[in-house]
């Protein structure tokens, strides 16, 4: 019924949600179980993101500049979020970055809902 | 006796010549530079082979012809020269076959069939026109593997047209309706993808005894709309208009539940 990209994108949004909530909780209580949950789900989300990017670019439409820019932009947002957390500014900016990441996953979901032979936005 | 055999021989020879004449193949741009010129000079039942290229013209077909591209729709593009005329107009003729073209740039229609029957459209991309494929009073035509996307009005429009078969077509992102049957009956719509159209996916208006089977009709404003239409058979069509609104909410909810499960699991470890 669903294409593999739809399943991966759905899994990505679920894990991004887990990572977002646990990240917010981890800000309140450092060194807790939430940090482990946040990291574990965060890295899984990153792997899914990269898999989706590879799937998208190895599709029948081939590599498009728009598609590559969009996926690289998303990767830059993820990298920026990791950099903000590691540079100790998590308390100030991480929640915003988390919201941006959730929005990014919503866009990925919209682009990957199965549509017969066509994918919305053709990303 | 000899006269009889001679008569039969000449009759056979004449038939052979006639059949050869009927099977003539014309190449564009080798024999004629434009498709319209080739159509004008072709005899009924000739085949016109169009090689790759960008052809700016409006073509009117009034005789039974087969028009094919050599390298498919991406390589053979017909763009309207006069924008308020159809790119391809098939007018009062039976058994016209057109395959493998991109048809674009008309504010009227990409492919327009008027009072034309038993025709075939295969593997054409009819994009960025007023409407994609328009049939008026045309019966027993077959449309397979065509794409009618991004048109200003309808993807495929049938009016007073009966017994047509629309199979495995893609009708996406049209700015009004996807497939519209108006006063058209006994048509078969099978295994088409009709998605992301601004209004209805498939509309039946005053159309009866049509078969809609195995169609994917996703993310249109409304999936299938029947108005003043009776005895239509709808089987195994997917019409998930609102999945794009529901799915993310469900996934976020599952995410919250998964967080709670993971947190409780970590307590036990």
pLDDT of A7 over the 70 cut: yes
Out of B172, B247, B255, the one facing A118 most closely (by C-beta) is: B172
- The whole-number average pLDDT for the span B231-259 is 85
Cα dihedral B252→B255→B256→B262 (10° resolution): 180
What integer pLDDT is reported at residue A5 of this predicted model? 82
Determine contact: B261 vs chain A, CB below 8 A.
Answer: no
> What's the CA angle centered on B51, arms B49 and B57, to 5 degrees?
90
Can you read off the two tokens belonging to residue B25? Answer: 């193949």
**Does pLDDT of B9 surpass 80?**
no
Residues of A in contact with B216 (CB under 8 A): 115-116
Structural domain spans, chain A: 4-109
A7: left (phi over 0), alpha (psi -120 to 50) or beta: alpha
Q: Which chain A residues are within 8 Å of B243, Cβ to Cβ?
A: 113
| Beta-carbon separation of B196 and A120 below 8 A | yes
User: What burial letters (b/e) apply to B187-206, b meaning 16+ CB within 10 Å?
Assistant: bebbbbbbbbbebbbbbbbe
Q: Which chain B residue lies closest to A38 (C-alpha atoms)? A: B259
Q: What is the pLDDT of residue B12?
A: 59
Q: Is B265 on the interface with A (CB under 8 A)?
A: no
Phi first, then psi, for residue A35 (nearest 5°) are -60, -45
Which has the higher per-residue pLDDT, B193 or A58? B193
pLDDT of amino acid B252: 93
- Residue B133: φ, ψ to 5°: -110, 125
Q: Once rounded to an integer, what is the mean pLDDT over residues B260-264?
A: 91
ipTM of the complex: 0.84
What sign results for the dihedral spanned by CA atoms B4, B9, B11, B12?
A: positive
Model pTM?
0.69
- Tell whether the model's pLDDT for residue B78 goes beyond 80: yes
Q: pLDDT band at B63, cuts 50/70/90?
A: very high
- Nearest C-alpha of chain B: how many angstroms from A37? 7
Q: Give the pairing type, strands B120-122 and B142-144.
A: parallel
For chain B, what are the domain ranges?
Answer: 2-268
pLDDT, residue A108, reads 87
Q: Rounded to an integer, what is the distance from CA B132 to the centroid of its chain?
A: 8
Residue contact A36–B263, C-beta within 8 A:
no
Q: Would an 8 Å CB–CB cutoff place A26 in contact with chain B?
A: no
Q: Pick the more confident residue, B19 or B6.
A: B6
Instruction: Examine the pLDDT at B26 and tell me if it is beyond 80.
Output: yes
Q: Which residues contact B234 (CB under 8 A, 6 or more apart)?
A: B212, B213, B224
Question: How high is the pLDDT of residue A117?
Answer: 37
Structure tokens belonging to residue B103:
């048809």
For chain B, give the mean pLDDT.
91
- pLDDT of B5 higher than 70: no
What stretches of chain B show up as alpha helix (H) in DSSP? 2-22, 35-41, 243-268
Query: What's the mean pLDDT in B73-86?
Result: 96
Inspect the interface and report whether the beta carbons of B248 and A18 lie closer than 8 Å: no
CA B27 to chain CA mean position, Å: 24
CB contact under 8 A, A118 and B170: yes
Asked whether the beta carbons of B225 and B200 are under 8 A apart, the reply is: yes
In this structure, which topology does domain B2-268 adopt according to CATH?
Pectate Lyase C-like (2.160.20)
Q: Which residues pair with A1 in a beta bridge?
A: none
What region does B156 belong to: left with phi over 0, alpha with psi -120 to 50, or beta? beta
Preceding amide of B29 cis, omega within 30: yes
**Chain A residue whose CA is closest to B239:** A115
Average pLDDT over residues B97-104: 97
């Amino acid at each position: 019924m669903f294409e593999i990209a739809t399943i991966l994108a759905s899994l990505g949004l679920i894990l991004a949600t887990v990572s977002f909530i646990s990240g917010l909780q981890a800000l309140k209580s450092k060194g807790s179980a939430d940090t482990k949950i946040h990291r574990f789900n965060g890295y899984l989300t990153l792997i899914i993101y990269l898999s989706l990017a590879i799937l998208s670019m190895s599709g029948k439409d081939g590599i498009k500049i728009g598609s590559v820019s969009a996926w690289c932009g998303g990767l830059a947002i993820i990298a920026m979020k990791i950099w903000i957390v590691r540079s100790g500014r998590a308390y100030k900016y991480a929640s915003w970055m988390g919201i941006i990441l959730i929005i990014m996953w919503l866009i990925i979901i919209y682009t990957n809902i199965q549509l017969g032979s066509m994918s919305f936005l053709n990303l | 006796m000899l006269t009889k055999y001679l008569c039969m021989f000449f009759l056979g020879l004449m038939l052979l010549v006639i059949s050869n004449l009927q099977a003539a193949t014309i190449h564009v741009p080798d024999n004629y530079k434009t498709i319209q010129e080739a159509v004008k000079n072709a005899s009924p039942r000739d085949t016109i082979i169009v090689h790759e290229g960008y052809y700016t013209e409006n073509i009117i077909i009034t005789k039974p012809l087969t028009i094919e591209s050599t390298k498919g729709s991406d390589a053979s593009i017909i763009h309207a020269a006069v924008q308020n005329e159809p790119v391809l107009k098939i007018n009062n003729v039976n058994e016209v076959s057109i395959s493998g073209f991109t048809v674009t740039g008309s504010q009227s229609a990409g492919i327009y069939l008027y009072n034309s029957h038993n025709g075939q459209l295969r593997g054409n991309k009819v994009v960025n026109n007023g409407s994609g494929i328009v049939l008026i009073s045309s019966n027993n035509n077959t449309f397979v593997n065509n794409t009618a996307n991004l048109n200003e009005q309808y993807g495929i429009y049938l009016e007073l047209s009966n017994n047509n078969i629309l199979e495995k077509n893609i009708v996406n992102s049209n700015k009004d309706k996807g497939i519209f049957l108006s006063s058209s009956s006994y048509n078969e719509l099978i295994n088409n993808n009709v998605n992301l159209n601004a209004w209805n996916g498939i509309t039946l208006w005053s159309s009866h005894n049509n078969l809609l089977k195995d169609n994917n009709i996703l993310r249109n404003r409304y999936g299938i709309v029947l108005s003043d239409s009776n005895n239509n058979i709808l089987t195994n069509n997917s019409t998930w208009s609102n999945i794009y609104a529901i799915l993310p909410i469900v996934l976020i909810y599952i995410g919250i539940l998964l967080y709670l499960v993971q947190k409780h699991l970590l307590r036990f470890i």
